[in-house]
Chains A and B, each alone.
Chain A
Amino acid sequence: MHISKMGVGAAVRVSVVAASLLAGASWIGQAVADPVTLTWGMWVGSDAEKAAWQHVADMVTAKYPDIKIELQTASWPDYWTKLPTLVASNQLPDIVSLQSLRTPGFASVMTPLDDMAKRDNFDVGAFDKSIIGGLSSDGHLLALPYDFGPLLVYYNADMFKKDNVPVPKEGWTEDDFKKAAKTLTHDQQYGFGIGGVDQVISWISSAGATYLKDGNLDITNDKFAAAFQDYVDLVGKDKVAPLQAASGGAQLGDMARGSFAAGNIAMVIDGPWQLINLKSSVKFTIGLAPVPAGAAGSITVTAGSGFGISQTSQHKEEAWKALQILTGPDAEQYLASQGRAFAARIADQQYWYKAAAVGVDNAEAGMNAALKGTVPYITTPNWNTVNNLFEQYEPLALSGKQTGAEVLATINKLSAQ
């Protein structure tokens, strides 16, 4: 009735205006955006850590009020048990935290970030190159890094002083290392603490050996076997490192670190991420140094962690925005000043020195020297299994029950399953 009174022309005008208003409204709606809650899976070892991550998550909401982040946390060992179950049940969080070593294993469920980075002119070069490599697979970047670090030597400066041994420094060789360890091994204390596959790879790399061939695990080659035997002999033959049980939730390196913290071991190899926790629990001065140089120099591997977007995420664009904040300069500065991360962003690494490294001997010198000899830690998709196999079988070589070559052959066979 109304239309016939108003006339068709008027009706058309009204509907055109209404349509454009509606279109305009929805456009405005998209610009303002419906609030999105992203889920973010991350490992935490304490309430303090969780608070730190929450702080960083809040930074995202501060910049983008319509993006909220819900943290889904698990303890470090459990995180890797849970992740495949989440994949299996299609429950992957939007933002998935990944460690570089395990990235190839989960590559198939992560969204490659290269296109989005290129489209938005995101400067990937601001991050250290080795960790970008570590978080990539098949040439695609799968996660933006927040921290990384080379494996380097932690030493007990007090023990070195007491036994009058010159502290490790740039350019020191494996011979220097063994000599120092021997002098430091007496009574109930040892010079060195053995670690698992990470430290092994570092050691054999310095010896000039390789562990990959065409992307597949190759640990039975002669050079690797010889270097590995050299490493395990530190326990069995040279007796400068104690035999420790790899058990409980603790990995081989964990027990060594525990003994180091207790003041029973003079040197361990570990990453900078341990520094803040170690410092707070020890009663001596810690020092840092690069790994001893083998035949090929002082080569070490770097590992680190970052955040990626799952393939199944319904909010990839929002997640990408969030990622940029989570690994942005402000977040990196915060995390580094907390000592929680040796920033992957090169420019923010200084904050780590100002925080975590305070009171540590030769922190900057040691780190710089270590960083000079880093290679990216390339892993195979079944690295979780390989890691676990080293945990299980390396002790057999350490106790001398089997030779290094035999252990490597077993690990090789079992990892191929």
Chain B
Amino acid sequence: MPEVREASAARTAGSVVVHVFVVLLAVAFLFPFFWMLSNAVRSNSEVLAVPPRLLPSEWQWNNFIDALSFLPFGRFFLNSIAVSLAITLITLIVSSLAGYAFARIRFPGRDSLFLLYLSTLMVPQAVIVIPLFLLMSRLGWVNTYQGLILPVAFGSFGTFLMRQFFLTIPRELEEAALIDGCTRLRAFWSIFLPLATPALGLLSLFTFTGQWNSFLWPLIVVNGTDHSTIPLGLTAFQGQNGTQWNYIMAGAAISMLPGLALTILLQKYIFKGIAISSGFGGR
């Protein structure tokens, strides 16, 4: 009896230690965000002051608004949203269709085709940006929305994820439907998709945040501020006449909001989705 009490006391103490540790780590971890905000609301000349000031001498809250008018940051924001959403939508549709085919349909060459899909995951973006850009100019898609959206919406990560997920759905469900005369498409639409919401939610989050932060491709395909996205916009604050550090910080802070909102919205799905579609989570 006393051992149990001792054990549970030790466990509580251990748990407190872990709590404290995690809290301390989180505080240290959050420091760069504090630094981001603190630098966002000070004057540009104070940013590089030595010794560094933890808090600005004068609080320039209007920097958030000034950053928006110094460059058309509002435009960048909208572009990022439109582009990321479009890519996410296309990815969801294309990946779930393909993922289902790989998971559930037996057809000749399936495994080798899937291997091709997997190997494209390993292609560094840097390898294809130059030829892709030449393709864009042939198609007349340079500095257009389709040029920003289409070339990057067909990556195979989504297919991989959805396939893993669909593999976990019991065969009986679909066999029954097919015997009843259902077409594959119908089975897909009414059985698989509804069940796939966790994986879809996860894929949406990963795709959206990935595209939101994408820098290299937009840098190359965009020409001017009309189609610029946020990461491009941030570097635009580094002009020929010096760097507006405070505006970069303000812009970076603002740019975190949509991803944050999306995660809070999709919380439920994210967790379930990861466990099941990483394929192997502790099953």
Interface residues of A (CB under 8 A from B): 43-50, 71-78, 81-82, 85-86, 88-91, 188, 242, 248-250, 254-255, 257-259, 261-264, 273-274, 276-278, 281-283
Q: Enumerate B202-248 residues with CB–CB distance to A below 8 Å.
A: 219-220, 223-225, 232, 235-243, 245
Nearest B residue to A305 via CB reads B240
**Partner of A277 from B71, B137, B237, B241 at Cβ < 8 Å:** B241
Enumerate 9 A-B pairs (CB-CB under 8 Å) in ascending A order: A45-B236, A45-B237, A47-B70, A48-B70, A49-B239, A78-B232, A78-B236, A81-B219, A88-B133
- B240 to A258, Cβ gap below 8 A? no
**Partner of B220 from A45, A85, A261 at Cβ < 8 Å:** A85
CA distance A81 to B71 in the complex (A): 20
- A75 to B243, Cβ gap below 8 A? no
B112 within 8 A of A: no
**Partner of A254 from B43, B219, B243 at Cβ < 8 Å:** B243
CA distance A77 to B248 in the complex (A): 15
Q: Please name all residues of chain A whose beta carbon is closer than 8 Å to the beta carbon of B50 when the two chains form the complex.
A: 188, 242, 259, 262, 264
B119 within 8 A of A: no
- A250 to B238, Cβ gap below 8 A? yes
- A262 to B224, Cβ gap below 8 A? no
Nearest A residue to B240 via CB reads A76
Q: Enumerate B63-95 residues with CB–CB distance to A below 8 Å.
A: 69-72
- B239 to A46, Cβ gap below 8 A? yes
- Given contacts A86-B223, A281-B44, A77 and B238 within 8 Å (CB-CB): yes
For residue B51, give the distance in angstroms from its CB to the closest CB of chain A: 6
Q: Please name all residues of chain B whose beta carbon is closer than 8 Å to the beta carbon of A242 when the two chains form the complex.
A: 50
Q: Please name all residues of chain B whose beta carbon is closer than 8 Å to the beta carbon of A89 when the two chains form the complex.
A: 133-134, 136-138, 142
For residue A96, give the distance in angstroms from its CB to the closest CB of chain B: 13
CA distance A85 to B135 in the complex (A): 12
**Partner of B235 from A78, A255, A258 at Cβ < 8 Å:** A78
- B70 to A75, Cβ gap below 8 A? no
CA distance A74 to B70 in the complex (A): 14
For residue B227, give the distance in angstroms from its CB to the closest CB of chain A: 11
B49 within 8 A of A: yes
- Given contacts A45-B236, A73-B225, A250 and B45 within 8 Å (CB-CB): no
- Given contacts A46-B70, A78-B236, A91-B137, A262 and B241 within 8 Å (CB-CB): no
Nearest B residue to A75 via CB reads B236
- A250 to B235, Cβ gap below 8 A? no
**Partner of B45 from A82, A249, A262 at Cβ < 8 Å:** A262
CA distance A74 to B232 in the complex (A): 10
A-B pairs with the 10 shortest C-beta distances? A45-B239, A89-B137, A249-B238, A75-B236, A76-B240, A261-B45, A258-B48, A277-B241, A262-B49, A262-B45
- B45 to A281, Cβ gap below 8 A? yes
Kindly list 6 other residue pairs between chains A and B, CB separation below 8 angstroms, not including A72-B224, A273-B240. A76-B238, A76-B240, A82-B220, A82-B223, A90-B137, A248-B238
Q: Please name all residues of chain B whose beta carbon is closer than 8 Å to the beta carbon of A86 when the two chains form the complex.
A: 223
- A76 to B239, Cβ gap below 8 A? yes
Interface residues of B (CB under 8 A from A): 43-51, 69-72, 130, 133-134, 136-138, 142-143, 219-220, 223-225, 232, 235-243, 245
- A78 to B245, Cβ gap below 8 A? no
Q: Please name all residues of chain A whose beta carbon is closer than 8 Å to the beta carbon of B241 when the two chains form the complex.
A: 45, 273-274, 276-277
- A85 to B235, Cβ gap below 8 A? no
**Partner of A255 from B48, B71, B136 at Cβ < 8 Å:** B48
CA distance A43 to B165 in the complex (A): 48
Q: Please name all residues of chain A whose beta carbon is closer than 8 Å to the beta carbon of B45 when the two chains form the complex.
A: 258, 261-263, 281-283
- A81 to B220, Cβ gap below 8 A? yes
Q: Please name all residues of chain A whose beta carbon is closer than 8 Å to the beta carbon of B51 when the two chains form the complex.
A: 188
**Partner of B242 from A43, A73, A257 at Cβ < 8 Å:** A257
- Given contacts A45-B240, A47-B69, A264 and B136 within 8 Å (CB-CB): no
CA distance A48 to B70 in the complex (A): 7
Q: Please name all residues of chain A whose beta carbon is closer than 8 Å to the beta carbon of B239 when the two chains form the complex.
A: 43-46, 49, 75-76
CA distance A250 to B235 in the complex (A): 10
Q: Please name all residues of chain B whose beta carbon is closer than 8 Å to the beta carbon of A273 when the two chains form the complex.
A: 240-241
For residue B252, give the distance in angstroms from its CB to the closest CB of chain A: 12
For residue B125, give the distance in angstroms from its CB to the closest CB of chain A: 15
CA distance A86 to B138 in the complex (A): 12
For residue B19, give the distance in angstroms from its CB to the closest CB of chain A: 37
Q: Please name all residues of chain B whose beta carbon is closer than 8 Å to the beta carbon of A90 when the two chains form the complex.
A: 137
For residue A109, give the distance in angstroms from its CB to the closest CB of chain B: 15
For residue A274, give the distance in angstroms from its CB to the closest CB of chain B: 6
CA distance A250 to B243 in the complex (A): 7
- A88 to B142, Cβ gap below 8 A? no
Q: Please name all residues of chain B whose beta carbon is closer than 8 Å to the beta carbon of A261 when the two chains form the complex.
A: 44-45, 48, 242
CA distance A68 to B41 in the complex (A): 41
Most A Cβ at <10 Å: residue of B220, B236, B237: B236
**Partner of A85 from B133, B138, B243, B245 at Cβ < 8 Å:** B133
